[in-house]
């Protein structure tokens, strides 16, 4: 298996623009998590899905952030409009019923 | 909610020495404690985990201990090698809850 796939790996955008981050989970994993990593706040859970349904989005910082999982093979995290403080590395992680979470390589987002 | 504290934030050891990283957690309901290794530019990689019905677990040069009464757990790496240099994160969750809360990370440097 190729592992968790994220795209793009790097994204540079201007403040106010819409940003869409993408994740393809490991086949057969029915939980998907979106995390954000910054120097100041460390690794934070933003939202997670089970069987494509959002279960807990209490970590989503504000209404500018939204996440979807239209099918078992794809999820998106969207920021609209983006702000410089959204600059971070965003990770997608997935797991099966064995509880271990497997992380993707991340998307480094820079908002200027 | 859960709070996980991790110490030290940086650790420098000579190759061949042992390294110990400690974490404390606040929620007595937590019962799943994974450890992740993150190399530069990559996503966190699960290296070992322990569940609350076990006090210690070993995997070659890596071991984790758990003290539920004191609410702390530790990662032990023996015979350190330069390739062990990375940032290590502890985390805690209730297994059923899925929501991993991460410690702040420890940057381990192994000097040849």
Cβ contacts from A onto B, under 8 A: 46
Contact A99 B95 (CB under 8 A): yes
Distance CA A18, CA B90 (A): 33
- Helix (H, G, I), strand (E, B), or coil: what is residue B23? strand
Q: Which residue of B has its CA nearest to A5?
A: B43
**b/e map B68-96, b = 16+ CB within 10 Å:** eeebbbbbbbeebeeebbbbbbbbbbeee
- B50-103 per-position pLDDT tens digit: 988 889 999 999 999 999 999 999 999 999 999 999 999 999 998 665 889 999
Structure tokens at B76: 């032990």
Q: Which residue of A has its CA nearest to B40?
A: A105
Across chain B, what does the average pLDDT equal? 94
- A10-32 per-position pLDDT tens digit: 999 999 999 999 999 999 999 99
- Is A103 near chain B, with CB under 8 Å? yes
| B98 contacts in chain A (CB < 8 Å) | 31, 33, 48, 50, 55-56, 95
- B28-56 per-position pLDDT tens digit: 999 999 999 999 999 999 999 998 888 99
Contact A105 B43 (CB under 8 A): yes
In angstroms, the separation between the Cα of residue B97 and the nearest Cα of chain A is: 10
């Amino acid at each position: 298996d190729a592992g968790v796939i994220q795209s793009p790996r790097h994204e540079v955008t201007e403040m106010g623009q819409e940003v869409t981050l993408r994740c393809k989970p490991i086949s057969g994993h029915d939980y998907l998590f979106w995390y954000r990593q910054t120097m100041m706040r460390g690794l934070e859970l933003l939202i997670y899905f089970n069987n494509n349904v959002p279960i807990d989005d209490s970590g989503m910082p504000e209404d500018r952030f939204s996440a979807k999982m239209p099918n078992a093979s794809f999820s998106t995290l969207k920021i609209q409009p983006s702000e410089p403080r959204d600059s971070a590395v965003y990770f997608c992680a997935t797991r099966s019923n064995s509880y271990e979470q497997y992380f993707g390589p991340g998307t480094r987002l820079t908002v200027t | 909610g859960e709070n996980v504290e991790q110490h030290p934030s940086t650790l420098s050891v000579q190759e061949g020495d042992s390294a110990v990283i400690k974490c404390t957690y606040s929620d007595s309901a937590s019962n799943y404690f994974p450890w992740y290794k993150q190399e530069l530019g990559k996503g966190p990689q699960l290296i070992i985990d322990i569940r609350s019905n076990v006090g210690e677990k070993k995997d070659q040069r890596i071991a984790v201990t758990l003290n539920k009464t004191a609410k702390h757990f530790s990662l032990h790496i023996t015979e350190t090698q330069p390739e062990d240099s990375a940032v290590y994160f502890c985390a805690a969750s209730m297994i059923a809850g899925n929501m991993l809360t991460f410690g702040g990370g420890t940057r381990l440097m192994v000097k040849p």
